[in-house]
Amino acid sequence: MLIGLRQALDHAERANCGIAAINTPTLELLLGAVKVAERYAVPMVLQHAQVHEPVNAIEDIGPVMVEVARRSSAPLVVHVDHGETIEYVERGFAVGFNSAMFDGSRLPYDDNVAQTRAVVELADGYGFGVEGELGIMPGREDGVESTGTADEALYTRPDDAAAFVAATGVTALACSFGTVHGLYKAEPKINYELIGELRRAGGVPVVMHGGSGLSCDEYRASIDQGVRKINYYTYADKAALEAARTLLTEKPDTYVFSDLTVAAQAAITADLDALVRCLYRVF
């Protein structure tokens, strides 16, 4: 069933858990994620990032995401991730998405405020929540450009977070506090104290981007400080690739591509199963 971003975050607040927000540009990621949400009957965000347009356009994969979410027994949000223009967010809403992130983090502060505010006004007309972003995180959400380390000078500042939330009316705020998109090439160093300060100053749930590749202890310590949505993609897709590679190595006579997609979906499901057990404190 479809639920809104606010409902999912309220659940996370009550349960002191983090909502898994999975990028699902392919059917394997989509069906793997939904299978795990249903297995544990937990709310989840299915999301499509603008940077994944070359994998599948939102007009192609988006209606499938919405239909799968509607039919599912699990409560699911269908969300535009890293919308870089208001037009892209509109494209998501046009195919049935009910939530969006506008990413103006690389714009000058005033432009980020103005454009995020415009997206909030658009979403208000539908009753949808909006996630904004402040502070810069290295790497892009397609996992190909990461330097693997975060620059503390670009972390989100609590005073800025307070002003940004007040000026834009966002439902949740993606912040920079030590995570990176893509692969970690060095040990992640998360500033937990900063997460707590950002949560208190902004007054809205904190979103962790670059959420794949951390340990369960790191997720839970972040959740305890106020992270309520955890964006996750690279390591699930990497697990899929490794499963496909193993299959081709062990069975070089494989002759149809769909054998790879079956192996990939099983690997994604296993990866996300471990994530969900951690984030939702399934013991």
- Which residues contact ligand 13P by CB under 6 A? 23, 49, 81-82, 141, 143, 181-182, 209-213, 231-234
The verdict on whether residue 82 carries a ligand-binding annotation is: yes
Residue whose CB is less far from ligand 13P, 141 or 197 = 141
What three-state secondary structure class fits 85?
coil
What gap in Å lies between CA 49 and CA 250, rounded to an integer?
Answer: 34
Told to judge if 142 belongs to the known catalytic residues of this protein, a careful annotator would answer no
Q: For the chain, give percent helix, strand, coil, nearest 5.
A: 50, 15, 35
Minimum separation from the CB atom of position 226 to ligand 13P (A):
17
Residue 133 CB neighbour total at 10 angstroms: 25
- 84 and 52 Cβ atoms separated by less than 8 Å: no
Q: Of 221 and 248, which CB lies nearer to ligand 13P in the complex structure?
A: 221
Q: Which is nearer to ligand 13P, 125 or 128 (CB)?
A: 128
Report which of 135, 115, 143, 130 is spatially closest to residue 195, judged by C-alpha positions: 135
Count the neighbouring beta carbons within 10 Å of the beta carbon of residue 94: 12
- Enter the tokens of residue 268: 């994604």
Q: How far is the CB of 80 from ligand 13P (least distance, A)?
A: 11
For residue 103, say whether it is annotated as part of any ligand binding site: yes
CB of 142 vs ligand 13P, minimal distance in Å: 8
Of 177 and 233, the one with the shorter C-beta distance to ligand 13P is 233
210 assigned ligand-binding residue: yes
CA separation for the pair 39, 237 (Å, rounded):
20
Q: Say whether 231 counts as a known binding-site residue.
A: yes
* Minimum CB–partner distance for residue 255 and ligand 13P (Å): 32
Where is the binding site, in residues?
82, 103, 133, 181-182, 209-212, 231-234
Active site residues: 81
